[in-house]
Structure 1
Amino acid sequence: MAPIATGTAPAPEFHQSVSDLSKNPLERTWRGNREGTLKIDAYPDFMHATDEEGLLKKREWVKLHLAVAFRFWGKLGYGEGISGHITVRDPILRDHFWMNPFGVHFSSMTISKLVLVTPEGYVHPTLGAQLPINMAGFYIHSAIHHARPEVEAAGHCHSLHGKAWSAFGRPVDITTQDSCLFYDNQAVYHNFGGIVLAAEEGANIAKTLGPRNKCAILQNHGLLTLGHTVDECAYLFSALDKQCKVQLMIEAAAAGGIKKSIIDDEDAKFTAATIQYHENVYYNLNPEVQLILEREPGVLN
């Protein structure tokens, strides 16, 4: 029997550059036929609509994808009693947002159960479900939507691995290709001021996120992510929670003497330039969206 190799020669150093790639990060990730007639679906045409008909279509699309995002979170086991919320700006009433009702399981979310919240934090009297909302959810999300006008969606819940890693008050390391989603794209909120029942705490979290970050680790609390779409927001959250699990596993192995490797800044920046692009993150949730719509048609009710 041939001896088992115990080492390998070092690979030659090689770094890629976006200068040789398409200017559109989405177009770097797929290829159709030679004739160029096979393409992936882009955002629906009405996503940039300004007319009433288009905006009404967008409202229904936003509500559907919000309900599906909750089903996705339910599938991942993120339900934790009354905790957890995702909000999305209404396409027509821009200072209002849609969110989940108080005490309804993520896995049972439907379009008709979604609540429209006014700027003052009350349930809209005529549009949406007439159900109570989570007060902490309003304080956190209203502050973020106010501070970040370019953000359409924000999501927060108490996922298992996110909670565990949050106790360290540290960002996740860039140790895997998937973790490049968080390269120069994460904040840590170090102050745990108790359950969020004051507007000031929501404002502090929004301030910590800054003008650009889409991901935050709330120390001793959990995770929070933002998105141009609810799809981006929900997928980013799931990816961050998984990276927290990876980080905990790596730390356990490192404690036993195994050295961990951090991705080089140049390579992380190159990868982030493609995978952090909002349309790419949006498409990452698409397989889950299609699966849920196929297997759980009740979400349309």
Structure 2
Amino acid sequence: MNDTAVNDTVKPSYLADTDTGLPLPQRPVFERVEDERRHRKQRLAAALRLFGEFGYSEGVSGHLSVRDPEYPDRFWVNPFGKAFERLRVADLICVDAAGRVVAGEGLVNPSAFVIHYHIHDQRPDAEAAAHGHTVYARALGALGRLLEPIDQESAAFWEDQVLYGEYDGPAVDFEMGRRIARHLGDKRALLMAHHGLITVGGSIDEAAHWFFTYEQAARVQLVASAAGEVKPMSPEQAKLARDGFGDPHLGWFSFQLLWDQIVADQPDFLEE
């Protein structure tokens, strides 16, 4: 018998000292609010360009927001009528609690205001929110089904998503926005039947990553369901997968790879 005691709480040397065991860097910390605002706006513009890159455009629909670091009742969002593929930092607008554009030039989409205002108001932890009318999320919503934990990526949303089955027309009414935010509750994803998808996160990086992941997971589930009987994970397996692939810090870091890509391919989005 080996006399050397094994300490199960000490991670092997090849694992980083993080919740996931991955060598993840930390989020940047800013001394000046101006620097943090620029950082958030740059990431928001990058996420919007990525929406365009991934084919998530649907006319004037779709909007992403990030809370202002100085004024918590204000948020930055893409202006109405500007294509994702053309968005720059200079094009972003800042909207206050009354729906007025207080910085930047352009009009605010009424849906963007009523949805994002209430999410930011009811969810202090939600620094950012992403909403789009994407193909596979809409198809899944039309079936009235949420993601099942059929793989590691979809398990990131296990018990962290909710279906919004109501539909009273386009979301332009202030009270409708309140109901949507209330239905979202403390979840990271809201699938809206006959409408689209909303994801939130502690940064725009994270919120965008959850959106991209949800849309791809919906695609996998629809393809698998069409091919045969889907066999989801057990609750125990789903929890293990969610603890890894649903880790917020991992979600933030995953966006950094896309950031590097979009900066290299479309650096003009950084124009201020």
Fold equivalence (TM over 0.5): yes
Aligned residues: 260
Asked if 1:215 corresponds to 2:215, the answer is: no
State the distance in 2 between where 1:96 and 1:273 align. Answer: 32
- Whether 1:154 aligns to 2:129 is yes
Q: Call closer, same or farther: CA 1:189–1:23 in 2, change over 3 Å.
A: farther
Which is greater in Rg?
A: 1
Deviation at 1:23, TM superposition (A): 7.3
Cα distance between partner residues in 2 of 1:71 and 1:105: 9
2:64 to 82, 86, 91: 86
How big is each residue's C-alpha offset from its partner over 1:112-149, in whole Å with a ceiling of 9 and x where there is no partner?
A: 0000001101111xx3x210011011111111111101
CA offset at residue 274 of structure 1? 2.4
TM-score (norm. length: structure 1): 0.83
Tell me if structure 2 keeps the 8 A contact 1:169–1:220. Answer: no
How does the TM-score come out when normalised to structure 2?
0.91
Alpha-carbon separation, structure 2, partners of 1:29 and 1:186: 25
Alignment partners' CA distance in 2, 1:168 and 1:200: 26
Residues 148 and 155 in structure 2, CA contact (< 8 A), matched pair in contact too: no
Could you tell me whether the CA contact under 8 Å between 2:66 and 2:127 is conserved in 1? yes
CA 180–20 in structure 1, closer or farther in 2 if over 3 Å, else same: farther
- Pick the aligned partner of 1:276 from 235, 246, 258: 246
- Compared CA separation, residues 121 and 19, structure 1 to 2 (3 A): farther
Equivalent of 1:242, from 207, 216, 221? 216
Q: How far 1:20 moved relative to its partner?
A: 7.3
- Extract unaligned runs of 5+ from structure 1: 1-17, 31-39
Structure 2 gaps of 5+ residues are: 1-7
1:95 partner letter? D
Indicate the SS of the match to 2:156: helix
Deviation, structure 1 residue 29: 2.1
Q: Is the 8 A contact 2:144 2:163 kept in 1?
A: yes
What is the aligned partner in structure 1 of residue 206 from structure 2? 232
Partner secondary structure for residue 103 of structure 1: coil
Secondary structure of the residue aligned to 1:43 is coil
Letter in 1 for 2:267: P
Call closer, same or farther: CA 1:185–1:68 in 2, change over 3 Å: same
How far is 1:275 from its partner? 2.1
